[in-house]
Amino acid sequence: MKSVYDAIKFLASFVPNARTASEDGGAVDTVGFGSAALVISAGTVDTADGDESYVFHVEESDDGSTGWEPISDTEVEITETDEVGLIRLEGLNTGDRKRYLRASLVVGGTTPSIACSAVFALGRAFNEPVN
């Protein structure tokens, strides 16, 4: 019997850390998978001045290093401490999406600071087990 571990691969784009400026995460290779979910986990979020903003989205690239483009309708705004965000992506490796994905964070405001991580869960594996 197969378990979820055999069918889903988890890859970090942002490792846990405090971030005070806009930043792009590491590239994730989606070859061999048909869908993905990006799970954003926030710890402490600075909202002291009331104008801070934290918006995550997903970008894609053909080679994982250049030509990064945002994917439409993949934005999640984090507004509270201990909030979790989720972005779903379908159509990987079908010609609809480029091979590489990454998380991207855009921060704004007076004193932005967010402790966070962003992990891709790749699913619908073409071959199992994946781990």
CATH number of the domain to which 114 belongs: 2.60.120.1110
Q: Give dist(CA 37, CA 120) in Å, integer.
A: 6
Q: Give dist(CA 55, CA 85) in Å, integer.
A: 10
Amino acid at 44: T
> What's the number of domains the chain is made of?
1
Is 3 inside any structural domain?
Answer: no
C-alpha distances out from residue 105 to 2, 95, 123, Å: 35, 26, 23
* The pLDDT value given to residue 2: 66
Is 49 inside any structural domain?
Answer: yes
Q: Give dist(CA 92, CA 21) in Å, integer.
A: 30
pTM: 0.93
Query: 12-63, pLDDT tens digit by residue?
Result: 999 999 999 999 999 999 999 999 999 999 999 999 999 999 999 999 999 9
Q: Which residues pair with 87 in a beta bridge?
A: 38
